[in-house]
Amino acid sequence: MNNPSMHRNVQLNSAGRLRHFLSTEGLSRSMLNEILDRAEAFLLPDQRIRHEPLLSGCTVMNLFFEASTRTRTTFEVAAKRLSADVVNIDISKSSTSKGESLRDMLWNLEAMTADIFVVRHSQSGAAHFIAEQVTPQVAVINAGDGQHAHPTQAMLDMLTIRRHAAEPFESLTVAIIGDIRHSRVARSNIHALRTLGVAAIHLIGPATLIPEELEELGVKIFHCIEDGLRGVDVIICLRIQNERMESVLIPSPEEFFSLYGLNERRLALARSGAIVMHPGPINRGVEIESAVADGPQSLILRQVNYGIAVRMAVLSMAYQGQREVQHG
């Protein structure tokens, strides 16, 4: 399960429509834009979100083997906005904790007429493994697997950029700051940004947290934040996980903020009106200062709102794609 090598066509049905959503890697620009267009259609003025009964009669099961409040809640809200029945499985109390295999647990859940599994797992490749094990009538949505992918987070980031950046993707320079090495968000964003044709991607952080091989993806690596931020249009700060702060990979939280934290002085190096994003939860005074996180260029709360619309788009598209598989 720890080999997330992409069976890229598993995400699409025979008609080329979304069947599972496991990774942004391997999907076409037209497919990513279709997801963004569908999400846009759910958005109403004043950050309200349309209610559409597209999943009426559908059962969505949230299988979170790894804790997450924000992602699980937005998936639940998205499914209910689509009129789905939602079941949250408490994995800590599930039969897998009693020795039952993951495969057997999946088969039992399928027998309960599940239509969509939303899966979050600490092992890279887990969502792909599950997609290969389930029967054709079940769609699998990856809500984050190990250090590999977090595709719905990437797509809500793409929606935020599309709606608020000053230029289209092809004219943008995007900076990603922080722990790139361990970030599934960074990997999914890099693939999505490249597919959507951004002009340049800057990765900023200490050498211990940015693998040099990422340069093969066409990104530029900066170990000096000031150099990496000059003239950029979009800034994405990544969360530094607490366990990293206790390792040799980064200095102390205070020193990290001193070297790589986004403050107003550094933000001023970016293009005028550059937008600031963060997948959350925020470590204030480590990745970003409060004056920036709460400032006029910050879209952090807007990202959460857009996450509901994006997850509605993915759920509805995957359900439609699975029904096409069932009916030939």
User: What is 24-58 written as a DSSP string?
Assistant: STT--HHHHHHHHHHHHHHB-GGG-B----TTTT-
- What pLDDT, on the 0 to 100 scale, is given for residue 270? 98
Please report, rounded to a whole number, the percentage of residues in the chain having pLDDT higher than 90. Answer: 74
Residues 174 and 211 in one domain: yes
DSSP code at position 300 = H
Paired with 220 in beta bridges are 202
Residues 155 and 107 in one domain: no
Q: How confident is the model at residue 278 (pLDDT cuts 50, 70, 90)?
A: very high
Which is higher by pLDDT, 96 or 291? 291
Residues 88 and 108 in one domain: yes
* Same domain, residue pair 202 and 176: yes
Rounded Cα–Cα distance for residues 310 and 156 (Å) = 6
The average pLDDT across 262-282 equals 97
Answer yes or no: is 284 within a domain.
yes
Structural domains of the chain, count: 2
Looking at the structure, do residues 22 and 33 belong to the same domain, yes or no? yes
CATH number of the domain residue 24 falls in: 3.40.50.1370
pTM above 0.85, yes or no: yes
For residues 51 and 192, state if they share a domain.
no
Q: What is the tens place of the pLDDT at every residue in 303-321?
A: 999 999 999 999 999 999 9
Q: How far is CA 135 from CA 13, 89, 91, 322, in A?
A: 14, 19, 21, 10
CA distances (Å), 1 to each of 11, 77, 83, 119, in order? 17, 29, 33, 14
In sequence order, the β-bridge partners of residue 264 are: none
Domain membership flag for residue 3: no
Q: Which residue has the higher pLDDT, 254 or 241?
A: 254
Q: Are residues 210 and 275 in the same domain?
A: yes
**Do residues 141 and 161 both lie within one domain?**
no
Contact by Cβ (8 Å): 120, 63: yes
Residue 143 lies inside a defined structural domain of this protein = yes
**Residues 223, 126 share a domain:** no
User: Residue 296's pLDDT is what?
Assistant: 98
Residue 2 lies in a domain: no
Cα–Cα distance measured from residue 51 to residue 278, given in angstroms and rounded to the nearest whole number: 27
Whether residues 263 and 169 share a domain: the answer is yes
Of the listed ranges 60-64, 99-103, 109-113, the least confidently predicted one is 99-103
Question: Does 160 lie in the same domain as 65?
Answer: no
Res. 150: pLDDT tops 50: yes
Q: Is-contact 73 64, C-beta < 8 A?
A: no
Provide the pLDDT for residue 105: 81
> How far, in Å, CA of 38 to CA of 50, rounded?
12
The pLDDT score that the predictor gives to residue 134 is 85
Q: Which domain holds residue 105?
A: 8-150+306-326
Residue 225 maps to a domain: yes
On whether residue 96 sits in a domain, the answer given is yes
H helices present in 90-150, as ranges:
102-111, 126-133
Predicted local confidence at residue 113, as pLDDT: 85
71 and 215 in a single domain? The answer is no
Is 205 part of a structural domain of the chain?
yes
Name the least confident of 39-53, 88-102, 107-121, 251-265.
88-102
